[in-house]
Chain A
Amino acid sequence: MENEVQFYGMIAEKLGISKTSILIDFKVEDVNVRDLIMDSYPLLKAMTFQIAINNVIKENISSAEVGEIIAILPPFAGG
């Protein structure tokens, strides 16, 4: 089963994509999403972003979170 990846704001604009899906190979229990996403989208290496998995800010994903939404979030600008 895959994870949906959502891109927001300036990141969605820069990459030209707002969502995709990835199949994560859990060779280890916790996989670093930042490394994984930057491998797939090298443009992100020059950008500031946070990662949320199932609406919680975190960097690592476990096999128990397969199917959850991964959000790639640029700097916030609310208010």
Chain B
Amino acid sequence: MEAKKIKNCFIEGPIASTFIGESIGKHQSKTTIGAHQLFLGQVRKDIIDSKSVISIEYTSHVDMANKVFEEIREEAFSKFDLTCMHIYHSLGEVKIGEICLFVFVSSAHRKAAQKAVEFIVEEIKLKSPIFGKENLEDESHVWKVNQ
């Protein structure tokens, strides 16, 4: 049996608002959908030791992260009544105010989509091997750790 091809969910740099808009537009032909639920992660201007974060540089164990995303996807489909779902995460530098995570879930009804997005985002934060170097305004950096 042919091995299942794992989708690459990474995008180099920030996730553009045009990409998000086009993704929504592509679902207009899927007329069984009654609800879309989106989560957008944005890089925040945190203050660390009196210094502002100016960007986060994301790296990842890409093969493993894509496998984890696929497992999260399969679990989400088994738990919730979904029509489709997509995960996109940035690699490389993302400046404050830019989008680094885009989770897009579609369902016939809103509640399944709402619950699924919450589940998916928590699972991504917990299980995906993604690392973030927070670059500070004085050219120093710290490593971000999910709480």
Q: Could you tell me which A residues sit within 8 Å of B by CB distance? A: 6, 8-10, 13, 52, 55, 71, 73-79
The interface centre, meaning the residue of B67, B100, B132 with most chain A CB atoms within 10 A of its CB, is B132
CB distance from B64 to the nearest CB of A (A): 4
Using C-beta atoms within 8 Å of the partner chain, give the interface range for chain B: 20 to 34
CB distance from B70 to the nearest CB of A (A): 11
Please report the C-alpha to C-alpha distance between residue A10 and residue B100 in the assembled complex, in whole angstroms: 20
Closest to B141 in A: A13
* B59-A78 in contact (CB<8A): no
CB distance from B15 to the nearest CB of A (A): 12
Identify B41's interface contact among A9, A71, A73, A79, CB under 8 A. Answer: A79
Closest to A48 in B: B145
Please report the C-alpha to C-alpha distance between residue A8 and residue B146 in the assembled complex, in whole angstroms: 16
Chain A to chain B contacts (Cβ below 8 Å), 18 pairs = A8-B59, A8-B60, A8-B61, A52-B61, A55-B63, A71-B61, A74-B143, A75-B143, A76-B125, A76-B126, A76-B130, A77-B144, A77-B146, A78-B60, A78-B124, A79-B124, A79-B128, A79-B130
Contacts of B131 in A (CB 8 A): 8-10, 74, 76-77
Please report the C-alpha to C-alpha distance between residue A76 and residue B123 in the assembled complex, in whole angstroms: 11
Identify A78's interface contact among B63, B130, B133, B143, CB under 8 A. Answer: B130
B13 interface residue (CB < 8 Å to A): no
